[in-house]
Amino acid sequence: MTGAAAVVRSLELLGVDDVFGLPGGAILPAYDALMNAESLNHILVRHEQGAGHAAEGYAAATGRVGVAIATSGPGATNLVTAIADAYMDSVPIVAITGQVFSTLMGTDAFQEADIVGITMPVTKHSFLVKKAEDIPAAIAQAFEIASTGRPGPVLVDITKDAQQAEAPFVWPPKFDLPGYRPVTRAHGKQIQAAASLLAEAKKPVLYVGGGVIRAKAAEELRAFAETTGAPVVTTLMARGAFPDSHDQHLGMPGMHGSVPAVLALQEADVLVSLGARFDDRVTGKAELFAPHAQIVHVDIDPAEIGKIKQATVPIVGDVKEVLVDLDTAYRSTVSGQKPEYAEWWQYLRGLRDQYPLGYAPSTDGLLAPQQVIQRIGELTGPEGVYAAGVGQHQMWSAQFIRYERPNSWLNSGGAGTMGYSVPAAMGAKVGEPDRPVWAIDGDGCFQMTNQELATCVLNDIPIKVAIINNSSLGMVRQWQTLFYDGRYSHTDLNTGHDTKRIPDFVKLAEAYGCLAIRVEREDQIDDAIQLALDTNDRPVVIDFVVSSDAMVWPMVPQGVSNSYVQYAREHSPAFGEED
């Protein structure tokens, strides 16, 4: 068969159901072959970045590999942001791009770009395929690499002549990946050392990162946490890995984390890091993070261990398997005599009672964004999927929606990509059609990728979009308020607070064929959300006009120690619920 047909057949044999893409000259043979696909559902996006984020949302919601397809040159470079985003957040996607004829490579041919070179720093691996017979193996290897070890994006760039040429199709292809041997089973001595360290702890904390979700290890985490009785914190990328309703859960740590979660990490004597990478938004000033703690660092990527904080017990392995082994070793070590953490828990529960998550009502007559987001979560429930953009609404969504299951919270954590939410929600809804899927977006983020609403309408993908419209680049404005004396340099978007709305989001959404609603009063919030939940024949866009003065609290300023929270608590009489 042709190389183009081999692309399609390989995807089908790998069990792929849905792909997102946009055709162009260099990938046209593959698109012609898609006409004959037996089981592939191709969704035509309006921008290649949308295809990449949709593939991410699909992967994050389902745990399967997402697929994005684009042509050469600008088609491929438009995928780069999504590929980089997937790399930072360990999302398994395969990007398939067309390339100019191999005989033209290096000549600055029309729409030529060295996409392999461009994406090398932000992919697990990149393939350049110049022969039709190499296509099945390249695609099979790409899926193997993307989905094993630490998940991540893989690029397969295929020249147009390779797509047009014919070659025998051999499946399954034989391949070897020299140098790629992910370690999944941890060393027994390290497991025992970690169990012994934890058994001796007086102030242990389980520091849970997004790797637990990628490893599908939520059940194992809960079992281990209940075995040890240790408090649990879940990072921005790990929301839902451990139920918010569980008594051992302290919330999210970091720059905008809860006071109990932040101070538990700062005062712990043993920190068990599970699939977390000690991101700067969690640690603050790294050398002052968890200063008294001995650290057990579990990660499938050996490059992460010791990168930021020195590990007392480094453990390389799949966190799902490691948790099972740790649970067994810990039970054996304590021999039924579980350590007593009463004093530690008394302190942490005191913090939880004293500093509950809260927000101040708005004073300008506009909606409190926290209330809007909280009601979305309460009316939708834990079976929903919530995809957030980047900024204040992202942090409020992480704080005020209660997550009870993994894969329910999708966001751009590492890269912080504006425009992620709408296409990611679209991809999630394709992968999880029976769940209500929300894109919780800001008025800034929404304007970057809202064209994918057309894709949703034409493909019967009924996502719900909540625009948290504060008429500004909210998080940037918050920093300008706090650190730049209120000098609001180029953060006003003019989208919502007067009669001159540019654009008018209701008219824009209606132009795309969506049900569109504007909410400006508190008594309208619930009815609008419920109408969105009851509408499943088209996308729904709700323009929530919220206060631009609302802040994300708590907040640890960038570059300072997390002990700043402790200092503020002890020295500032104004440090209370609203902080």
Q: Is residue 416 domain-shared with residue 446, that is, in the same domain?
A: yes
Strand 154-159's sheet: what is its strand order? Answer: 41-44, 18-21, 66-70, 93-99, 154-159, 125-129
Q: Identify the band that residue 564 occupies on the pLDDT scale cut at 50, 70 and 90.
A: low
Question: How many CB atoms neighbour CB 547 within 10 A?
Answer: 20
Give the pLDDT of residue 575: 47
Give the pLDDT of residue 566: 58
Single out the residue in 148, 164, 180 at which a domain terminates: 164
CATH number at residue 198: 3.40.50.1220
pLDDT at 567 over 80: no
Residue 361 phi/psi, 5-degree rounding, is: -60, 150
Note down the domain range covering 23: 3-164
CB 163 within 8 A of CB 7: yes
Nearest C-alpha neighbor of 116 from the set 51, 148, 149, 72: 72
pLDDT at 571 over 60: no
- Using a 10 angstrom Cβ sphere, with 0-12 exposed, 13-18 middle and 19 or more buried, the burial of residue 534 is exposed
Helix spans in 165-217 (H): 188-199, 211-214
Q: Indicate whether 25 belongs to any domain.
A: yes
Mean pLDDT is lowest, of 198-202, 450-454, 532-536, 561-565, for 561-565
Q: Is residue 322 domain-shared with residue 373, that is, in the same domain?
A: no
User: What does each C-alpha distance from 60 to 29, 211, 353, 460 come to in angstroms?
Assistant: 30, 12, 33, 21
3-class DSSP state of 375: helix
Mean pLDDT calculated for residue range 221-244: 98
Q: Identify the band that residue 210 occupies on the pLDDT scale cut at 50, 70 and 90.
A: very high
What is the number of structural domains in the chain?
A: 3
pLDDT digits 0-9 by tens, 441-461: 999 999 999 999 999 999 999
Q: Identify the band that residue 132 occupies on the pLDDT scale cut at 50, 70 and 90.
A: very high
Helix spans in 229-293 (H): 259-267, 280-283
Mean pLDDT calculated for residue range 279-304: 95
Pairing of the two strands 385-388 and 437-442 = parallel
Q: Indicate whether 571 belongs to any domain.
A: no
Measured CA to CA, the distance from residue 439 to residue 424 in angstroms comes to 8
Measured CA to CA, the distance from residue 36 to residue 135 in angstroms comes to 18
Q: Indicate whether 172 belongs to any domain.
A: no
Measured CA to CA, the distance from residue 298 to residue 187 in angstroms comes to 11
Pairing of the two strands 154-159 and 93-99 = parallel
Q: Is residue 255 domain-shared with residue 334, that is, in the same domain?
A: yes
Measured CA to CA, the distance from residue 175 to residue 183 in angstroms comes to 19
At 182, which amino acid appears? P
Give the pLDDT of residue 336: 80
CATH number at residue 101: 3.40.50.970
Q: Is residue 318 domain-shared with residue 407, that is, in the same domain?
A: no
pLDDT at 292 over 60: yes
Q: Is residue 380 domain-shared with residue 516, that is, in the same domain?
A: yes
Kindly give, in sequence order, each residue whose CB lies less than 8 Å from that of residue 541, ignoring residues fewer than 6 positions away: 453, 465, 467, 505, 506, 508, 509, 514, 515, 516, 517
- Using a 10 angstrom Cβ sphere, with 0-12 exposed, 13-18 middle and 19 or more buried, the burial of residue 121 is exposed
pLDDT at 404 over 90: yes
Mean pLDDT is lowest, of 313-317, 440-444, 486-490, 553-557, for 553-557
Q: Is residue 335 domain-shared with residue 396, that is, in the same domain?
A: no
Mean pLDDT is lowest, of 270-279, 314-323, 385-394, 551-560, for 551-560
pLDDT digits 0-9 by tens, 510-524: 999 999 999 999 999
Mean pLDDT of the chain: 95
Single out the residue in 121, 149, 164 at which a domain terminates: 164
Q: Is residue 125 domain-shared with residue 219, that is, in the same domain?
A: no
Q: Identify the band that residue 568 occupies on the pLDDT scale cut at 50, 70 and 90.
A: low
Q: Is residue 345 domain-shared with residue 373, that is, in the same domain?
A: no
pLDDT at 162 over 80: yes
Give me the active site residues, please: 48, 110-111, 160, 475
CB 578 within 8 A of CB 553: yes
Total-model pTM: 0.96
Q: Is residue 524 domain-shared with residue 376, that is, in the same domain?
A: yes
At 502, which amino acid appears? I
Give the pLDDT of residue 570: 56
Q: Residues for the chain: how many in total?
A: 579
Q: Is residue 346 domain-shared with residue 205, that is, in the same domain?
A: yes
Pairing of the two strands 125-129 and 232-234 = unpaired
Q: Indicate whether 85 belongs to any domain.
A: yes
Q: Indicate whether 176 belongs to any domain.
A: no
Mean pLDDT calculated for residue range 168-173: 96
Q: Indicate whether 532 belongs to any domain.
A: yes
Q: Is residue 339 domain-shared with residue 464, that is, in the same domain?
A: no
Q: Is residue 461 domain-shared with residue 322, that is, in the same domain?
A: no
Give the pLDDT of residue 559: 79
User: What does each C-alpha distance from 422 to 66, 152, 387, 502 come to in angstroms?
Assistant: 16, 21, 8, 19
Give the pLDDT of residue 561: 83
Give the pLDDT of residue 338: 83
Mean pLDDT calculated for residue range 75-104: 98
Measured CA to CA, the distance from residue 453 to residue 507 in angstroms comes to 13
Single out the residue in 354, 386, 414 at which a domain terminates: 354
Q: Identify the band that residue 500 occupies on the pLDDT scale cut at 50, 70 and 90.
A: confident
HSE-CB of 231 using CA atoms within 13 angstroms: 32
Q: Indicate whether 574 belongs to any domain.
A: no
Residue 117 phi/psi, 5-degree rounding, is: -65, -40
Which two three-digit tokens encode residue 436?
Answer: 């209500």
HSE-CB of 216 using CA atoms within 13 angstroms: 9
Q: Indicate whether 285 belongs to any domain.
A: yes
CB 96 within 8 A of CB 117: no
